[in-house]
């Protein structure tokens, strides 16, 4: 049973435009959500997170939105840059109990 | 300085052999993890140690045995390697005690290939 889903395996966006990566989860006990970015032959790198008590968290070009009723979160990157091309993993945590990664979405930012 | 380092980066070996992967973190974190990324690219938790104590042990064959000599090191030993063990194994560390809301810092992975 896949508790964290990223239904788009890949996404292509033009440089300067907005990238929107989506993530859905099934376990209503998850209370913390994170996005990681991964380049080839490297480990995932933490990008941004959000607690379930919030609906938005922003850090520079990166904003994460959480819709608890829909069990959906999204990562917005504005403006997208070629260096943002990577695989983005959504992850969900239930404090001390569970930590699950999604399958990832490969983002390609075209110059 | 590399924050989380794992060795070797690549490991090619034959079925039935025993091998170890080493991991060290210099971030002063209390908790370390091993993940397996399979052919479908899912990252799945295998083990977690907090201050040398095993706190998370997912359903993993007992051929896999983690060892933590101190809180900065978490090694993974695999006995009687099987074809299905081929994957990329990632070590990670974080503050707090296992699955706290603290970001995990990952090593660059060890690609294990079983012939």
Counted residue by residue, chain B has a size of: 115
Chain B: which residues have CB within 8 Å of chain A? 4, 40-45, 90, 92, 97-101, 103-109
pLDDT value of position B55: 82
A91: Cβ contacts below 8 Å, ≥ 6 apart: A4, A33, A34, A35, A36, A99, A100, A101, A102
Residue of B42, B99, B109 with shortest CB distance to A96: B99
pLDDT digits (tens, 9 = 90+) for A44-80: 999 999 999 999 999 999 999 999 999 999 999 999 9
Asked if A7 and A90 count as a contact pair (C-beta separation under 8 A), the reply is no
CA distances from B73 to A31, A75, A82, B13, B66 (A): 29, 33, 36, 24, 10
Whole-number percent of chain B with pLDDT over 90: 70
pLDDT value of position B101: 77
Q: What's the angle, vertex CA A24, arms to CA A19 and CA A7, rounded to 5?
A: 65
Closest residue of chain B to A105, computed from CA coordinates: B41
**In this structure, what is the dihedral angle of CA atoms A74, B102, B106, A105, given to the nearest 10 degrees?**
-10
Task: Looking at the complex, report in whole angstroms how far the Cα of residue B18 sits from the nearest Cα belonging to chain A.
Answer: 24
pLDDT value of position B53: 85
Sort out which chain B residues have CB atoms less than 8 A from A34's CB and list them.
103
Closest residue of chain B to A41, computed from CA coordinates: B108
How close are the terminal C-alpha atoms of chain B, in Å? Answer: 34
pLDDT value of position B1: 63
Average pLDDT taken over every residue of chain A: 95
Distance in angstroms (rounded) separating the CA atoms of residues A77 and B40: 26
Q: Give which of B70, B75, B107, B110 is closest to B91, Cα–Cα.
A: B107
pLDDT value of position B3: 92
Distance in angstroms (rounded) separating the CA atoms of residues B63 and B2: 29
In the numeric block, which tokens belong to residue B110? Answer: 């060890």
Sort out which chain A residues have CB atoms less than 8 A from B100's CB and list them.
95-96
């Amino acid at each position: 049973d896949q508790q964290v889903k990223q239904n788009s395996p890949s996404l292509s966006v033009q440089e300067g435009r907005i990238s929107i990566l989506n993530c859905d989860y099934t376990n209503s006990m998850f209370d913390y959500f994170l996005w990681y970015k991964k380049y080839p032959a490297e480990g995932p790198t933490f990008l941004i997170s959000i607690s379930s008590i919030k609906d938005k968290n922003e850090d520079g070009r990166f904003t994460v939105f959480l819709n608890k009723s829909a069990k959906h979160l999204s990562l917005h990157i504005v403006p997208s840059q070629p260096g943002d091309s990577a695989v983005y993993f959504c992850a969900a945590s239930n404090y001390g109990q569970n930590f699950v990664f999604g399958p990832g979405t490969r983002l390609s930012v075209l110059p | 300085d590399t924050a989380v380092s794992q060795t070797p980066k690549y490991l090619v070996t034959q079925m039935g052999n025993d091998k170890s992967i080493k991991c060290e973190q210099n971030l002063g974190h209390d908790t370390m993890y091993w993940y397996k990324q399979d052919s479908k690219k899912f990252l799945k938790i295998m083990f977690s140690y907090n201050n040398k104590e095993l706190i998370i042990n997912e359903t993993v064959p007992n051929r896999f045995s983690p060892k933590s000599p101190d809180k900065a090191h978490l090694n993974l030993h695999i006995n009687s390697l099987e074809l299905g063990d081929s994957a990329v194994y990632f070590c990670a560390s974080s503050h707090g005690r296992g699955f706290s809301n603290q970001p995990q810092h990952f090593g660059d992975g060890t690609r294990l290939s079983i012939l």
